[in-house]
Amino acid sequence: MNIYLAGPDVFLPDAIDIGRRKVEICARHGLTGLYPLDNTVDLAAADASLNIFKGNEAMMDAADAIIANLTPFRGPGADAGTVYELGYIAGRGKRCLGYSNDPSIYADRVARLGRVTDMPDGRRIDSLGLTVENFGLSDNLMMMHALDLHGCALVTPRQPPADIWHDLASFEACVRFAADVAAR
């Protein structure tokens, strides 16, 4: 089973090393991890970003499933590129797995980032008057229920690990689930 390893991990200073660790964990469970940075792209080329896209899309098309790192990134929710890829894999009818190393609830994170108001009708709104999704979910309902219905529920730790960008316990839980499915 080929697993596309999506996540903002590619933006870490040690992006290549973390990809290697993820691929090794997959191999230990009999799975093949496909990590976006394994695509060979000349970053100095004018069409570098297009080549990254094409490489990632081809890798997703070669995958049977995704494990998406949905740990909040540069804002209250998951990294946009990762979210796009989760949607793409769901659209292809493939298995969707994901984890977040932040066990908190989306509506609570928005409240920590700025003023929110709980209205008499039950809606929570932010300082611009925009509704804050408030269903007690870890992130936007489209992602969360895509996992529920097309793979398995988001994996989160009870407490945030000491290093949210390098702890791979929840990632490995996803790998174990995928390996169980592959063995059926």
Specify whether the CB–CB gap between 106 and 154 falls below 8 A: no
Specify whether the CB–CB gap between 119 and 56 falls below 8 A: no
Closest to 97 measured CA to CA, from 120, 61, 77, 69 = 69
Stretch binding a second copy (CB under 8 A), from 16-24, 80-88, 153-161, 168-176: 80-88
Residues of span 54-73 touching a second copy by CB under 8 A: 54, 56, 73
Of 29 and 151, CB closest to a second copy: 151
Distance separating the N- and C-terminal Cα atoms of the chain: 12
Tokens coding 167: 């702890």
Of 143 and 168, CB closest to a second copy: 143
Secondary structure of 70-130 as H, E, C letters: CCCCCCCCCCHHHHHHHHHHHHCCCEEEEECCCCCCHHHHHHHHCCEEECCCCCEEECCCC
16 binds a second copy (CB under 8 A): no
The minimum distance between CB 140 and a second copy, in angstroms, equals 4
Of 27 and 45, CB closest to a second copy: 45
Tokens coding 176: 């174990």
* Interface mask toward a second copy for 99-138; x: CB under 8 A: -----------x-----------x--xx--xxxxx-x-x-
Which member of 1, 20, 87, 179 binds a second copy (CB under 8 A)? 87
Residues lying near a second copy in the complex (CB under 8 A) are found at 8, 10-13, 15, 43-44, 48-50, 52-54, 56, 73-81, 83-92, 110, 122, 125-126, 129-133, 135, 137, 139-146, 148-149
